[in-house]
Amino acid sequence: CIRDRKTAYRSPFLFRNGRVVLACGLGLALVLVTALLFWQPKITAIVLAILAMIPIGWYLVLRRKEGLDKQKFVPAAPNPTRIADLNAREDYRIQNQITHLVEIKPGLFRLLTLRFILGAINLLAKTFYNRGNLAGIPSIHFARWVIIDGGRRLLFFSNFDGSWESYLGDFIDKAAIGLTGVWSNTIGFPPTEKLIFSGARNSGDFKAWVREKQLETQVWFSAYKTMSVQNINNNTQIRKGMIGEMDAEQSLAWLQKL
């Protein structure tokens, strides 16, 4: 049956209006700072100067730590037996899975940096990458990072279309900045530059490190066992076309999706 428009599914508020909320928030912050500069220019200037020192100090500490990490880096050594065991659990349907667990680098600096990066990614996922496309990658069904064990380890798990190699290849080609920004704060990750550069771009060391830290996924859920993200999105467009009116051009485009 065809549902009436009034009973159609309503997506979450941030899903529908995330960009507007973000723009309004930035605009309000700009207006507030401008107003404070007008009424209390000296105090506001001092506060802004102090706040500006925070990212400068953070950057200097980051660059020092990256230099030390580069000196101590040892590439992950491939383990054929382990890789064979992981391969045996993959490629038996259109979707695959990955579970990855790694220790976070010691110290409050790395933990706070990681939390900030994950918060930024979460905001982008809710406001920009919420239409079946994550950072230009249209094959991800699900992906999540979780800090566990009181801030000692970082868990990543994901379901995706295609092979493990193609998934990691898409990440390297289209989302290396985000991956590097997150995993640069974990032990064994390839050396980085300025938090988000290099790192995952070193594809050989990156893939070897992912395999070394990857766990066998014991349980995972697939809502559409025989369908890719592209198939699911196409079916969504077909369903939406059954609600409301379409002109001749829209009707032809809808029929082509069938």
Helix (H) or strand (E) holding 94: none
Asked if 123 contacts 22 with a C-beta cutoff of 8 angstroms, the reply is yes
Q: How high is the pLDDT of residue 1? A: 32
Alpha-carbon distances, residue 182 vs 104, 121, 179 (angstroms): 10, 9, 5
Please tell me the predicted confidence (pLDDT) of residue 102. Answer: 97
Both tokens assigned to 199: 């790192």
Task: Say how many C-beta atoms besides its own lie within 10 A of residue 114's C-beta.
Answer: 22
**Tokens 């969504």 appear where?**
236
Contact 76, 208 (CB under 8 A): yes
Give the integer Cα–Cα distance in Å for 181 and 136. Answer: 17
Kindly tell me the number of DSSP H helices and DSSP E strands found in the chain.
8, 6
Q: Chain centroid to CA 13: how far?
A: 20
Q: State the CB neighbour count (10 A cutoff) for residue 135.
A: 19
Dist CA 73 CA 205 (whole Å): 11
Q: Sort residue 247 into left (φ over 0), alpha (ψ -120 to 50) or beta.
A: beta
In this structure, which amino acid lies at residue 40?
Q
The span from the first CA to the last CA of the chain, in angstroms, equals 17
Tens of each residue's pLDDT in the chain, 258 residues: 333 334 444 555 655 666 666 677 777 777 776 766 677 777 777 777 777 888 999 999 999 999 999 999 999 988 888 888 888 888 888 899 999 999 999 999 999 999 999 988 888 877 777 666 677 788 888 889 999 999 999 999 999 998 999 999 988 998 899 999 999 999 999 999 999 999 999 999 999 999 999 999 988 888 888 888 888 888 888 888 888 788 888 888 888 887
Cα 3 from Cα 209, distance rounded (Å):
49
256 token code pair: 């082509």
Residue with tokens 């493990």: 164
Surface-to-core class of residue 51, CB atoms within 10 Å of its CB (0-12 exposed, 13-18 middle, 19+ buried): exposed
Angle (CA) 11-167-194 rounded to 5° is 90
Give the number of other Cβ atoms within 10 Å of residue 230's Cβ. Answer: 12
Please name which of 229, 211, 18, 190 lies closest in space to residue 98, comparing C-alpha atoms: 211
Residue 100: its H or E element = strand 95-103
Residue 194 — φ and ψ, nearest 5°?
55, 40
